[in-house]
Structure 1
Amino acid sequence: MTPTDVGTDPRAATAGDGAARAGRAAPLPPDERRASILRAVRPVLLERGVAATTRELAEAAGVAEGTLFRVFSDKLSLIGQAAFVAADPADAVPDLDAIDRALSLRDRLVAVMEIGLARIETTMRWMAILHEIGRVDPRPQAERDAAGRDGWAQWVQRQTEGEAQVRAALERVMGPDPGLRVSTARAVELFNVLLVGSSMQLVDARRRGVEAAPVDPAELVGLFLDGVARRT
């Protein structure tokens, strides 16, 4: 499942030179091409899961099907890597950093809550896709078990590193702000409790087939900043 090195083929270099002479954009370096494909196929995978065809994935990425298999060993490898990267918590950092710091603390936190709720919703879908891959993986069980152990170790490391980056981004969005009566780090911890807790409540309701009211980000931020006790 390791991508092949598409940059060592002399024919590729010759083709690239020819494209440059013809006035076309030069091919992307292998790592950039791989990252571009993984991002481009996300909408198709979120809609179709492992049922997505290589043709659909190639069209989404704007490349030929043969190009996919020069970068990824097979379709399941492509889908698995796309899900693995998309579920990385750090993927939300650019959106968090783009929040306007001139907004009030309340409005900044509503924007954070909207991003967070959407991210958790999407991450749950990526997790389901990874489970789908496990069900249809044609490799022998021993090979699948070994790959699963390695993949889990990578997953834990990626999640740990990504969560640390998200916490740092949240601290940049939150403060320091005179409206906080606790440290910025503590405020981030409490905010995450509310965000994750409300998301898991929705997930559990769906699992049980119970109709759940949609979460209002502004209401959650009001709860976070103002509490529920009547002020005297």
Structure 2
Amino acid sequence: METAAEPVRGRAAPLPPDERRAAILLAVRPVLLQRGAAATSRELAEAAGVAEGTLFRVFTDKVTLVREAVLAAVDPADSVPELATIDRDLPLRDRVVAVLAQGLARVDESMRWMGLLHELSRLEPGPPAEHREAAMRMWGTRQQAGTAAVNATIAWLLEPDADRLRLPLDEVIDLLTTVLMGATMRSVDARRRGLDSSPPDPERLADLVLHGVLSDGTEGDVRC
């Protein structure tokens, strides 16, 4: 009696180069945040689930890998998928609180990443001046595009209540960003000076944006 042949099990099809590169950059983030520039090539390869040889067929060396991982992690566009999960059916205040909470966490993590980049620059010489200038132009373009994507997502989240706001959406988003960065830098400055400082409260910041600091009963103008 003939039996059906067992299916041939081979290796999964390899990812296209760009997808493999992005997957590695994402996979090494936890170990880099934990170990910083001291992370070894072996630890990075294990985190990515590949052999060291494979790692360095994708990236020329460890410094290049770490630098690219940092730049990918601080790309504003990286936060868009999480922002897009906020429910647009939530009350306006809840949406603003969620945006600010994610923003505070994002800024805090980005500062850790930039600290790693500074640590790396002390250990390894940077690229030649002409390459550095080109890299800075590319960085600026990437940051601008990422910021535009973030702002578009926030506008999409707030749009259902646009007619209830005194300011245009783009000005509201600028205000949110200003409050977010100001609160973050205040906490950073306090830590640098060794002062006790409570972390920024996204609920208080949301109330500040929506209602200001007056106590003349105008709070009811923005029904949340």
Q: Same fold (TM over 0.5)?
A: yes
What is the CA–CA distance in structure 1 between the aligned matches of 2:183 and 2:172, rounded to whole Å?
17
Which runs of structure 2 are paired with 1:58-97 in the superposition (5 Å)?
58-97=45-84
| Dislocated runs of 4+, deviation >6 Å | none
CA contact (8 A) 1:105 1:179 kept: no
Q: CA deviation at 1:150?
A: 2.3
Alignment match of 1:161 (pick from 142, 145, 148): 145
Unaligned runs of 5+ in 2: 1-6, 218-224
Q: Does 1:53 align with 2:40?
A: yes
Residue in structure 2 matched with residue 190 of structure 1 by the alignment: 175
Which runs of structure 2 are paired with 1:25-36 in the superposition (5 Å)?
25-36=12-23
Q: TM-score, normalised by structure 2?
A: 0.88
Residue in structure 2 matched with residue 129 of structure 1 by the alignment: 116
Q: TM-score, normalised by structure 1?
A: 0.85
Quote the sequence identity (%): 53
Alignment match of 1:221 (pick from 178, 194, 206): 206
Which runs of structure 2 are paired with 1:5-24 in the superposition (5 Å)?
21-24=8-11
Residue in structure 1 matched with residue 221 of structure 2 by the alignment: none
Q: CA deviation at 1:138?
A: 4.6
Q: Deviations over 1:163-182 (max 9, x none)?
A: 11111111011114143222
Q: Does 1:212 align with 2:200?
A: no
Unaligned runs of 5+ in 1: 1-19
What is the CA–CA distance in structure 1 between the aligned matches of 2:190 and 2:205, rounded to whole Å?
18
What is the CA–CA distance in structure 2 between the aligned matches of 1:65 and 1:206, rounded to whole Å?
38
